[in-house]
């Protein structure tokens, strides 16, 4: 990120953090804490096991699979096969906003569970699962049912896929399972992968209808938290782009089924879905671009990139027109807010892409990101896709299926020839490329993967940032230290923050966050006074 | 319509739960453990359990919820979680330095059969537990009971690990709080103090989960029952267990272990339950109820006399946890209201029996169900078949309330979309007044909203 002033020296922060850890833990954590120097190629340890007991932000595979990827999809019954907790905690707790589709389906406010009891653990839960599917079908008549495995299901050996096949045959609707037991992988990331693989195998390609539209796109890795996707959808429409599907926000399984007919894939969250783009490229011939709609400048840049990719004069003109319509309000808001935010420090520890994307928004109002890291990302999200060949497959990633895809003889369609793509690349367009977060961060910034509670506290105490961004679990430990905290998973009931209007929301939100009066009222007036000798005592 | 797929017609379900009215055991164990001073709860299982419980508790209490996890991987699920837990215990004491780690199990560690008792012993034998520090544990498989069972199990473990009988009785009684808000625990302590009884309240989350903003995060806030207090419970004269479902098991354990007699009374929510609580306290300690308490009671009764004309025969649907629902149902009946649909996800035969007894004169035909498939989907269907004037329950009720256009009061766990419930008590006479204010406001706001312009009234 561009900046005219330097970040504070991180002098000794790494040693300061590590010295409290037992030596084995210190050795392990030292590789996940990097003092950033964007000029050199720095390696960071990511996507490895969390140290037990360290107090991590991370969740589990099931959370990533059911909660993140399928959760935002309205017209499928997501049935949790397991004891009640997993289904309960993932019930409407992410703010993926959704409008019912034209068919009126919207199961998102519901939680479906087999609520396994101890006798199901002892004698197996397949019978209960079968019955639950039948009951769900009889009451709700859904077009699709997904079954999500929880920890005990894998351990007792319930074959959810066999039950799915049997019930699919019996009921004549699409039913398939996700082996997303909580212990798989090392974070939610494994669950994203399992979810996307299954959608790819069981849904994508089922509907070959070619929709009208000159420029057909899929938006991958946009979850419509607080209505982000609604704003992006509006932009696409005004620019003349036809959105075939969003994975997955305000999304429909019907859209997924048809998504292979798009001309171009746009990746928003690289971490959660880049492999889907790769599979679709190989199987159906759809190229992909990394784009980002967080930040007004980034949004404009992304729209221009899409227009240039298609190379259509009308489209390029229309995109410029839309940007021209949106920017004045953005600049006005920025001008108003910036004097009160300039030079202030931010820290961002969330997700797989947000920690990167939100730095753009901060820099637009003159705030500097002094520390950032991801909760469940991999090395390529930090260092760029160039490190992909170097990443070794370890025991924890080996159990996540890598779907082998081949060219689909019927559905493959070359969108652009090698020569056309080369010509675009020569003009400076980045196709199938992502440089990661670290190269764009300033020297002296601190990058930490899978940050622990202790590391969070150390960072805050050292830098006293103006705002700390993370999730709900961190929210009040930060604020109890007198530092404002903004949730960037759920936006604290706020947002949307994407695209141009979202950027304006964010500027105003940060203005409020870092300047609200309450932080100056923490000390009682008498706390700063010297002790008073009693002259009058109440009996 | 949000719950647009919920049909009026009720089909029997055996295996499918839709919109549950319960959570799982470990979250209750975590909440209970936070009621011990200087305690760090630890979840022995996959990371996700701990993350989900911390998130839900944080959203409800709007306070830091500190807890650690064993972070099981597939490997540990195959070979057992011993090494993860031993590492975790060592790391927690080294980095976060609690006085006590309270371990609870999960579906995962229970299904693979980890012997947590043995692992905790090994941690001590291996010198991973510093002098004067403790590791306690409890078994809380998510496939048995509900969050209330987990709460109860953790409290029982406190007794198992700490309560001691020195042979010399102390001039104090134990009160086992049940799953109530920090503000409720504070109110119970205040009531006991006003009555003049010395008590040990456990667990006690006041000053832990309603800690003040002082500009620094105290990892272990000043509240919580202390270890010496917990030890002393074995020497107390008597135990009052608040709520059969959450508190009887630990009270029974304490009687078994230290011969401290106990009595189960309802959570002191509403007039009659608070009356019984106050009476029980005064009898147990052998003190007269002071006039200040009788005056406080009088204020509550005075408000009821003012309000009851607006409550009379209003139909209410409620869902939540059994101990709360029992006391709340009785209170509503005391107010001449008609609780006609009552749901709790927590199983146990005592629940329906008790509720039916409370309702036998007023609403013998009420729908009452608890346990498996007693879920909010069924409650919604009941409401569609027989509408109500008021809905009371946790945040998830807002979907039904909006769809059916019913006045709605948030009570119970979890409340994810409001702030304040953990600061103002609903127990005791004071809490009763607050409930009354909420009910009347909900009903009158609705009347004001719906009345014709000519019948829109200024005065009551």
Distance CA A379, CA A432 (A): 17
Partners of residue A105 in chain B, C-beta under 8 Å? 5
For A520, nearest residue in chain B (alpha carbons):
B215
The boundaries of every CATH 3.40.50.1980 domain in chain A are: 61-182, 216-341+385-426
Tokens of A7: 């970040």
Residues 6+ apart with CB under 8 A from A296: A326, A327, A330, A334, A364, A499, A500, A503, A504
Q: Give the active site residue among A60, A151, A164, A499.
A: A60
Answer yes or no: do A152 and B111 touch at CB < 8 A: yes
User: Residue B144: which pLDDT band, with cuts at 50, 70 and 90?
Assistant: very high
What pLDDT score was predicted for residue A536? 66
Q: Which CATH architecture has domain B173-289?
A: 3-Layer(aba) Sandwich (3.40)
List all residues of chain A from 326 to 345 with a beta carbon under 8 Å from chain B: none
Which of A82, A106, A136 lies nearest to residue B4, judging by beta carbons?
Answer: A106
Which of B20, B25, B26 lies nearest to residue A115, judging by beta carbons?
Answer: B20
Element (H, E) at A467: strand A467-470
pLDDT tens digits for range B298-321: 999 999 999 999 999 999 999 999
Answer yes or no: do B66 and A151 touch at CB < 8 A: no
Classify residue B207 by its DSSP letter. Answer: T
Which CATH superfamily, name and number, covers A216-341+385-426? Nitrogenase molybdenum iron protein domain (3.40.50.1980)
- In angstroms, the separation between the Cα of residue B146 and the nearest Cα of chain A is 8
**Alpha carbon of A317 to those of A232, A299, A320: distances in Å?**
18, 16, 5
- In angstroms, the separation between the Cα of residue A461 and the nearest Cα of chain B is 10
In terms of phi and psi (left: phi > 0; alpha: psi -120 to 50; beta: otherwise), the region of A77 is beta
Tokens of A322: 């839309």
CA count, 13 A, side-chain hemisphere, B236: 32
3-state secondary structure of B106: coil
Q: For chain B, what percent of residues have pLDDT higher than 70? A: 100
Distance CA B69, CA A374 (A): 19
What pLDDT score was predicted for residue A1? 67
- In angstroms, the separation between the Cα of residue A43 and the nearest Cα of chain B is 24
Answer yes or no: do B69 and A132 touch at CB < 8 A: no
The strand pairing partners of A345, in sequence order, are: A368
What pLDDT score was predicted for residue A534? 66
Contact A497, A228 (CB under 8 A): yes
The complex scores an ipTM of 0.97
- In angstroms, the separation between the Cα of residue A537 and the nearest Cα of chain B is 24
Q: Is A395 on the interface with B (CB under 8 A)?
A: yes
The strand pairing partners of B104, in sequence order, are: B43, B138
Classify residue B210 by its DSSP letter. Answer: T
- In angstroms, the separation between the Cα of residue B432 and the nearest Cα of chain A is 30
DSSP conformation letters of B279-332: HHHHHHHT-PPPHHHHHHHHHHHHHHHHHHHHHTT-EEEEES-HHHHHHHHHHH
Contact B241, B218 (CB under 8 A): no
Q: Is A94 a catalytic residue?
A: yes
Kindly list the strands in the beta sheet with B17-18, ordered across the sheet, starting from the edge strand earlier in the chain. A174-178, A144-149, A77-81, A112-113, B17-18
Answer yes or no: do A395 and B42 touch at CB < 8 A: no
Distance CA B343, CA B319 (A): 5
The boundaries of every CATH 3.40.50.1980 domain in chain B are: 25-144, 173-289, 293-453
Please state which CATH number belongs to domain B25-144: 3.40.50.1980
Tokens of B18: 């839709």
User: Residue B162: which pLDDT band, with cuts at 50, 70 and 90?
Assistant: very high
pLDDT tens digits for range B381-391: 999 999 999 99
Tokens of A266: 């746009």
Does domain A61-182 bear CATH number 3.40.50.1980?
yes
Pick among B2, B15, B112 to test the A interface (most A CBs inside 10 A): B15
What pLDDT score was predicted for residue A530? 78
DSSP conformation letters of A79-122: EEESSHHHHHHTSS-S-B-----TT----TT--EE----HHHHH
pLDDT tens digits for range B414-443: 999 999 999 999 999 999 999 999 999 999
pLDDT tens digits for range B84-107: 999 999 999 999 999 999 999 999
Tokens of B374: 């007693």
Distance CA A391, CA A380 (A): 9
Contact A228, A495 (CB under 8 A): yes
For residue A226, give the nearest of A501, A434, A13, A451 by alpha carbon: A501
3-state secondary structure of B240: strand
Residue by residue, pLDDT tens for chain A (539 residues) are 666 678 988 889 999 999 999 999 999 999 999 999 999 999 999 999 999 999 999 999 999 999 888 889 999 999 999 999 999 999 999 999 999 999 999 999 999 999 999 999 999 999 999 999 999 999 999 999 999 999 999 999 999 999 999 999 999 999 999 999 999 999 999 999 999 999 999 999 999 999 999 999 999 999 999 999 999 999 999 999 999 999 999 999 999 999 999 999 999 999 999 999 999 999 999 999 999 999 999 999 999 999 999 999 999 999 999 999 999 999 999 999 999 999 999 999 998 899 999 999 999 999 999 999 999 999 999 999 999 999 999 999 888 999 999 999 999 999 999 999 999 999 999 999 999 999 999 999 999 999 999 999 999 999 999 999 999 999 999 999 999 999 999 999 999 999 999 999 999 999 999 999 999 999 999 988 877 666 666 65
Length of chain B as a residue count:
460
Tokens of B103: 């371990």
Distance CA B176, CA B241 (A): 5
Partners of residue B46 in chain A, C-beta under 8 Å? 60-61, 151, 181-183
Over 60: is that where the pLDDT of B204 sits? Answer: yes
Partners of residue B126 in chain A, C-beta under 8 Å? none
Q: Which CATH architecture has domain B293-453?
A: 3-Layer(aba) Sandwich (3.40)
Partners of residue B142 in chain A, C-beta under 8 Å? 82-86
Region B53-58: mean pLDDT is 98
First to last CA, chain A: 63
List all residues of chain B from 8 to 47 with a beta carbon under 8 Å from chain A: 11, 13-20, 22-27, 42, 45-47
Computed over its alpha carbons, how large is the radius of gyration of chain A?
24
Element (H, E) at B228: helix B227-232
Q: Give the active site residue among A29, A74, A81, A94.
A: A94
The strand pairing partners of B318, in sequence order, are: B342, B392
Preceding amide of A496 cis, omega within 30: yes
Contact A215, A263 (CB under 8 A): yes
List all residues of chain A from 91 to 130 with a beta carbon under 8 Å from chain B: 91-93, 100, 104-107, 109-118, 120-121, 128-129
């Amino acid at each position: 990120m561009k900046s005219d002033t330097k970040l504070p020296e991180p002098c000794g922060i790494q040693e300061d953090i590590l010295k409290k850890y037992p030596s084995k833990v210190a050795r392990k954590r030292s590789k996940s804490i990097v003092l950033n120097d964007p000029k050199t190629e720095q390696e960071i340890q990511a996507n490895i096991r969390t140290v037990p007991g360290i107090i991590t932000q991370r969740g589990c595979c099931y959370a990533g699979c059911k909660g993140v990827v399928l959760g935002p999809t309205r017209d499928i019954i997501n049935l949790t096969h397991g004891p009640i907790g997993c289904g309960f905690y993932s019930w409407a707790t992410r703010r993926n906003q959704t409008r019912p589709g034209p068919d009126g389906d919207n199961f998102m406010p519901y939680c479906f569970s087999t609520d396994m009891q101890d006798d199901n653990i002892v004698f197996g839960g397949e019978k209960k699962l079968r019955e639950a599917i039948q009951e769900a079908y009889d009451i709700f008549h859904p077009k699709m049912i997904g079954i999500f495995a929880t920890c005990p299901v894998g351990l007792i050996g319930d074959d959810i896929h066999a039950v799915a096949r049997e019930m699919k045959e019996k009921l004549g609707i699409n039913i398939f399972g996700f082996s997303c037991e909580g212990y798989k992988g090392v974070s939610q990331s494994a669950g994203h992968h399992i979810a996307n693989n299954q959608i790819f195998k069981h849904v994508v390609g089922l509907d070959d209808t070619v929709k009208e539209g000159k420029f057909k796109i899929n938006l991958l890795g946009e979850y419509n938290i607080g209505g982000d996707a609604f704003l992006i959808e509006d932009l696409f429409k005004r620019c003349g782009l036809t959105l075939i599907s969003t994975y997955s926000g305000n999304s429909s399984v019907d859209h997924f089924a048809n998504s292979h007919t798009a001309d171009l894939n746009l990746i928003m969250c690289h971490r959660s879905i880049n492999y889907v783009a790769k599979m679709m490229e190989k199987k159906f011939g759809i190229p992909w671009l990394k784009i980002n709609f967080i930040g007004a400048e980034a949004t404009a840049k992304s729209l221009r990139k899409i227009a240039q990719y298609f190379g259509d004069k009308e489209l390029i003109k229309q995109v410029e027109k839309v940007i021209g319509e949106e920017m004045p309000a953005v600049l006005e808001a920025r001008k108003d807010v910036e004097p009160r935010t300039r030079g202030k420090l931010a820290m961002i520890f969330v997700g797989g892409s947000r920690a990167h994307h939100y730095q753009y928004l901060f820099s637009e109002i003159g705030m500097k990101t002094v520390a950032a890291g991801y909760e469940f990302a991999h090395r390529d999200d930090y260092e760029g896709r160039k490190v992909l060949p170097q990443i070794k497959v370890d025991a924890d990633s080996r159990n996540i299926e890598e779907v082998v895809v081949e060219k689909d003889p019927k559905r493959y369609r070359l969108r652009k020839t090698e020569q056309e793509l080369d010509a675009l690349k020569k003009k400076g367009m980045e196709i199938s490329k992502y440089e990661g977060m670290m190269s764009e961060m300033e020297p002296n910034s601190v990058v930490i993967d899978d940050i622990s509670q202790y590391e969070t506290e150390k960072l805050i105490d050292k830098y006293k940032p103006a705002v700390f961004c993370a999730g709900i679990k961190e929210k009040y430990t930060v604020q109890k230290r007198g530092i404002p905290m903004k949730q960037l998973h759920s936006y604290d009931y706020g947002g949307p923050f994407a695209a141009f209007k979202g950027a304006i929301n964010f500027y105003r939100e940060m203005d409020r966050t870092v300047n609200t009066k309450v932080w100056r009222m923490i000390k009682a007036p008498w706390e700063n006074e010297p002790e008073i000798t009693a002259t009058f005592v109440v009996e | 319509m949000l719950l647009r797929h919920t049909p009026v017609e009720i089909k029997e379900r055996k295996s499918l739960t839709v919109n549950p009215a319960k959570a799982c055991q470990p979250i209750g164990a975590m909440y209970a453990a936070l009621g011990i001073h200087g305690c760090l709860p630890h979840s022995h299982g996959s990371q996700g359990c701990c993350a989900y419980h911390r998130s839900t508790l944080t959203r409800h209490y709007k306070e830091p919820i500190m807890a650690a996890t064993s972070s099981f991987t597939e490997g540990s699920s195959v070979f057992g979680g011993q090494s993860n837990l031993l590492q975790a215990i060592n790391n927690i004491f080294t980095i976060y330095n609690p006085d006590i780690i309270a371990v609870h199990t999960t579906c995962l560690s229970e299904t693979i059969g980890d012997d947590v008792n043995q692992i905790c012993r090994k941690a001590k034998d291996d010198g991973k537990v510093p002098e004067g520090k403790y590791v306690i544990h409890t078994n809380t498989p998510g496939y048995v009971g509900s969050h209330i069972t987990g709460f109860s199990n953790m409290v029982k473990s406190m007794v198992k690990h700490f309560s001691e009988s020195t042979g010399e009785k102390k001039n104090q009684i134990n009160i086992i709080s049940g799953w109530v808000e920090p503000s409720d625990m504070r109110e119970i302590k205040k009531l006991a103090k006003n009555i003049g009884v010395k008590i040990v309240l456990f667990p006690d989350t006041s000053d832990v989960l309603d800690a003040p903003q002082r500009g620094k995060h105290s990892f272990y806030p000043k509240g919580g029952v202390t270890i010496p207090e917990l030890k002393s419970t074995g020497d107390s004269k008597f135990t009052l267990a608040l709520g059969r479902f959450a508190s009887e098991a630990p009270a029974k354990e304490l009687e078994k272990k230290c011969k401290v007699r106990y009595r189960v009374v309802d959570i002191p929510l509403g007039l009659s339950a608070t009356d019984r609580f106050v009476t029980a306290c005064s009898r147990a300690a052998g003190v007269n109820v002071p006039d200040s308490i009788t005056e406080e009671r009088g204020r509550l009764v005075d408000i009821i006399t003012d309000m009851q004309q607006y409550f009379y025969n209003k139909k209410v649907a409620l869902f939540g946890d059994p101990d709360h629902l029992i006391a709340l149902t009785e209170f509503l009946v005391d107010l001449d209201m008609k609780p006609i649909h009552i749901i709790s996800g927590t199983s146990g035969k005592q629940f329906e029996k008790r509720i039916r007894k409370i309702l036998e004169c007023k609403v013998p035909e009420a729908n009452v169900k608890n346990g498996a498939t007693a879920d909010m989907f069924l409650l919604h269907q009941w409401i569609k078949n027989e509408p109500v004037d008021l809905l009371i329950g946790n945040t998830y009720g807002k979907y039904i309330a909006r769809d059916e256009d019913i006045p709605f009061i948030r009570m119970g766990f979890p409340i994810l979309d409001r702030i304040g419930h953990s600061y103002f008590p609903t127990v005791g006479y004071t809490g009763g007044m607050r409930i009354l204010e909420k009910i009347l406001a909900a009903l009158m706001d609705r009347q004001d909203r719906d009345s014709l312009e000519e019948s829109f009234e200024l005065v009551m």
